Amino acid sequence: MAEAKSTINFREITDFLNHIHPISTEATKFLIQHCNYFHVKKGKFLRSPIDNTETLYFIVKGLVRGFIKEEGDEITTWLNEENNIVGSVRNLGLAIETEEYIQALEDTTLIGIQQTALNEMYDTYYEANIIGRKILERYYRDADERAFLCRLPSAEKRYRRFLVTRSSLLRRVKLKYIASYLNMKLETLCRIKVKVERP
Amino acid sequence: MAEAKSTINFREITDFLNHIHPISTEATKFLIQHCNYFHVKKGKFLRSPIDNTETLYFIVKGLVRGFIKEEGDEITTWLNEENNIVGSVRNLGLAIETEEYIQALEDTTLIGIQQTALNEMYDTYYEANIIGRKILERYYRDADERAFLCRLPSAEKRYRRFLVTRSSLLRRVKLKYIASYLNMKLETLCRIKVKVERP
């Protein structure tokens, strides 16, 4: 993972945030001072459970997945592409241990900010709380959808719901990761995919 | 469901919020003006999918579950007791349809506020955004945990994780709801419970 403090203005993240709610010049300046670009090659890790700094990332370009290891198997817990915020989110705001890995599934560019800087931003610039609240509303809904999807008893229904909500991922993500995310065997996913696509 | 506008001060919710971050006298006044108490008998519904007003509830006393109906079966998607905020949260901040029911599992007292009033509060009192952001961080984590728990491939591991994270519910919630929440058959839960409790 390459990290390069840039002199440019992290326009991708400031545009993204400004679109949610206007941020002041001071808050923008603070943000830029505390951001870094990260470039992660396909297959490489952005984070493993032994990392002890908490960082949130905005995906500028590319695709990443979160997964846990369970008795040798990898279980994909989430998948996210450009214009999403990812991180060791199971810790979001709490100092408890996470077992989560984050892996790039394509060559990926991200902008990262450490949780400590983010907390300072919340304490100093009140508009950061408006933006944080609105972003969290969206991610709450996404996490709730992941919990809901997973409890649907029929594998075909889980796949059909995935088609409706996240179809853009189907072309980009290996089927084995999608199968894991949808809580089914790869063979099951392949069988259902053929059935659903058949005219 | 009985609803009674009270002249008292909704101390349970203002104390809860003040503990997260101090709220101004003006914001407290606004909140009190827009809150109502709700009393729901055991087994009765707080919300069904045909409700068209979005309301968030703070549970003062009691226990509720969220569930969806799937081909005649009820799937329990979450369980929450006192001092939690519940609602048609799959809609949180978004005007999309939810298929969710909310049912009281004990005689339950709640304080409710409509989403429209909550939005006005966010727009008018900046500290509401600090509190909202902090509450959402917690509920994001909870939803993420629900999604994670459900993807654990072994039923016994799901039960053991539930024991660690939500053991207080075990004495209060019917096993059939816990089994559904843990994505397993009632027979499986009973078998695992005996195994785990055996000295």
Contact B134 A93 (CB under 8 A): yes
The reply to whether B132 touches chain A by the CB within 8 Å rule is yes
| Boundaries of every domain in chain B | 2-128
Domain B2-128 classified CATH 2.160.10.10? Answer: no
Nearest CA to B76 out of B40, B109, B102 is that of B102
Using one digit for the tens of pLDDT, what is the confidence trace for B21-43? 999 999 999 999 999 999 999 99
Nearest to B146 among A73, A147, A157 (CB): A147
Domain made up of A2-151: CATH architecture: Sandwich (2.60)
Read off the DSSP letter of residue A82: T
Could you tell me how far CA A176 lies from the centroid of its own chain?
18
If you count DSSP H runs as helices and E runs as strands, how many of each does chain A have, helices first? 7, 9
Q: How far apart are CA B141 and CA B143, in angstroms?
A: 5
Is a pLDDT exceeding 70 seen at residue B135?
yes
Going by C-alpha positions, the residue among B102, B132, B136 that lies closest to residue B1 is B102
Answer yes or no: do B157 and A129 touch at CB < 8 A: no
Residue of chain A whose alpha carbon sits nearest to that of B140: A140
Confidence at B98, pLDDT banded by 50, 70, 90: low
- Please work out, in degrees rounded to the nearest 5, the angle formed at the alpha carbon of residue A94 by the alpha carbons of A93 and A100: 100
Q: pLDDT-based confidence at B144, cuts 50/70/90?
A: confident
Please give the pLDDT value at position B152. 86
For chain B, the first-to-last Cα distance in angstroms comes to 44
> Residues 6 or more apart from B134 whose CB is under 8 A from it?
A93, B20, B21
- pLDDT at position B93, please? 43
Closest-CA residue in chain A for B121?
A130
pLDDT number for residue B95: 40
CA atoms within 13 A on the CB side of B16: 18
**Confidence (pLDDT) at A96:** 45
A107 Cβ contact partners less than 8 Å away, ≥ 6 residues apart: A39, A40, A41, A42, A62
Q: How far is B7 from chain A (nearest CA, A)?
A: 31
Least confident of A104-108, B108-112, B165-169, B175-179: B165-169
* Type of residue at A99: E
Nearest CB to B70: which of A70, A137, A152?
A152
- A183/B130 touch (CB, cutoff 8 Å), yes or no: no
Question: Which of B24, B137, B184 to mutate to test binding with chain A, by most A CBs within 10 Å of its CB?
Answer: B137
Neighbours of A168 (CB within 10 A): 11
**Where residue B92 falls among pLDDT bands split at 50, 70, 90?**
very low
Name residues 142-171 of chain A within 8 A of B (Cβ): 143-148, 150-153, 157
For chains A and B, CB pairs below 8 A equal: 109
Residues A168 and A173: their CA atoms lie apart, in Å, by: 9
In this predicted structure, the answer to whether residue B9 has a pLDDT above a threshold of 90 is no
Contacts of A145 in chain B (CB under 8 A): 90
Q: For the ranges A143-147, B127-131, B186-190, which has the lowest average pLDDT?
A: A143-147
Q: Which of residues 2-61 of A touch B (CB under 8 A)?
A: none
Considering only CB atoms, which chain B residues are within 8 Å of A148? 68, 77, 90
Answer for the pair B42, B106: CB distance below 8 angstroms, yes or no.
Answer: yes
List the single residue in B130, B134, B141 with the smallest CB-CB distance to A90. Answer: B141
Phi and psi dihedrals of B52, rounded to 5? Answer: -115, 5
Q: How far apart are CA B109 and CA B56, in angstroms?
A: 13
- Strand A63-70: give its sheet, edge to edge: A45-47, A101-104, A63-70, A73-81
d(CA B162, CA B194): 15
Percent of chain B past pLDDT 90, that is, above it, reads 63
Chain-centroid distance of CA B61 in Å reads 12
With CB atoms and an 8 Å threshold, state whether B89 touches A145: no
Residues pairing with B8 in the sheet:
none
Nearest to A84 by CA among A146, A181, A7, A12: A12
Taking 70 as the pLDDT cut, the residues of chain A under it are 1-8, 48-52, 88-98
> What mean pLDDT value characterizes chain B?
87
- pLDDT for res B91: 45
